[in-house]
Homo-oligomer: A and B are copies of this chain.
Amino acid sequence: MENFTFFNPTKIEFGVGKEQLIGQHLAAHGINTVLLCYGSERIKRDGLFDIVSQRLREQNIELIECGGIVSNPVISKVREGIALAKAHQVDAILSVGGGSVLDSVKAIAAGVRYEGDVWDLFTGKAPVESALPLFAILTLAATGSEMNPGAVVTNDETQEKFFISSTALFPKVSIINPVLMQGVPRDYLVYSASDVIAHLIEVYFTATVHPHLQSRLVESLINTVIETTEALLADPADYGARAQFAWAATLALNGLTFSGTAGFSYPNHAIEHSLSALFNVPHGAGLSVVVPAWMKWYIGRNPAQFERFARNVFGVDTGEQGIAALESWFNTIGTPTRLPQLEIKETALPAIVENVQSNVRLFGIADTYPPEVVTAILKNAL
């Protein structure tokens, strides 16, 4: 097992009705004015916005609205949020939405405290040194952003999808009420499942050390995601399944699964970020295409762990059978596994490979993933 530091100060409020606590939590942190960020107007139709604004009013907290954040969130919108936050001198940012809204909120929170252009923080030109306190009410479980210090945003001018990470970006409080997720459309549920599984297997397969303990935790989470996704497809109102799915998504990327491992990387995310950046495909849909393709390329580098995965997740014997079982499961739940299903043709490969190069540099894995390797992986997905 490798040396590590584990630190995760986010307070999680999990369960039915927990969104009612948002006013108290903001007040406990001394917040007077908050920028409330969200995506579509759905939260106004379904009553969530009313609940939040009432709980804030009760605590005399002023609310500034910043709606219209889109999936694969863009830096231009982040800049708009920063301007609003500065104009109203808000002292916190509140995300009401899924990972896209929350990642935008993290970028806004950091950008307000940085004098230059916020994209500098994504390119590594400047580090994230501080941020406004940020809070979240989660309406989609997938990215794990609610209990980690990272955020991914796309530059809509340069078509780069980059990330930032800093302990300043841990949410102070994240509220996860599975009931708020019951309206998640079927396609976004299955994309979320593939996103969570991708988070789990990136570390599981790429780490240079694989303590049994960490492997067991990952397998526990993958098996939970598989089981609960199937339950939710059968009955979207299954609260127990919805709740376990959500908590598994949080635990998949909160530090638990990689503490004690080493040398791991996120090649599937590095490649997928280019698909999202160039073709605006849903992140999870891109991942379910990339993951099996990458596994077929990678299996020879870690055959023992692939065999373990096959056995402990799908109850099959060989690593190859495990990959086939995962691909088949993705097909069964209805998330794509081939590029043409994303309407991406073979002729687009050179542009993707080109775009991936900045991502693999950013992820620190350029040596392992030169253009010819990325091409080979993508060809597995044709």
Q: Does A40 contact B (CB under 8 A)?
A: no
Instruction: Determine whether A208 belongs to the interface, using a CB cutoff of 8 Å to chain B.
Output: no
Q: Is A279 positioned at the interface, with any CB of B under 8 Å from its CB?
A: no
Known contacts A217-B220, A260-B247; is-contact A11 B6 (Cβ 8 Å): yes
The answer to whether B7 touches A244, judged by C-beta atoms less than 8 angstroms apart, is no
* Cβ B14 vs Cβ A243 within 8 A: no
- Residues from chain B with a CB closer than 8 A to the CB of A15 are 1-4
* Residue pair A213, B12 in contact (C-beta under 8 Å): no
CB pair A213–B11 under 8 Å, yes or no, is: no
A243 touches B260 (CB 8 A): yes
B1 touches A7 (CB 8 A): no
A189 to chain B minimum Cβ distance, whole angstroms, is: 17
Task: Categorize the interface residue count of chain A.
Answer: 35 or more
In the bound complex, do residue B13 and residue A5 qualify as a contact, i.e. CB atoms below 8 Å apart? Answer: yes
Give chain B residues whose Cβ lies under 8 Å from the Cβ of A17.
Answer: 3
Residues of B within 8 A of A240 (CB): 1, 211
Nearest B-chain residue to A248, judged by Cβ:
B213
Name the one of B4, B9, B213, B221 contacting A14, with C-beta atoms under 8 angstroms: B4
A18 touching B3 in the complex, CB below 8 Å, given contacts A211-B243, A224-B212, A244-B212: yes
Check if B216 sits within 8 Å of A220, measured CB to CB: yes
CA A259 – CA B4 in complex, angstroms?
Answer: 24
A8 at the interface (CB under 8 A from B): yes
> What residues make up the interface of A, taking CB atoms closer than 8 Å to B?
1-9, 11-18, 178, 211-213, 216-217, 219-221, 223-224, 227, 239-240, 243-244, 247-248, 251, 256, 259-260
Q: Given A3-B14, A4-B14, 5 other A-B contacts at CB below 8 A?
A: A7-B12, A8-B8, A213-B247, A217-B220, A220-B220
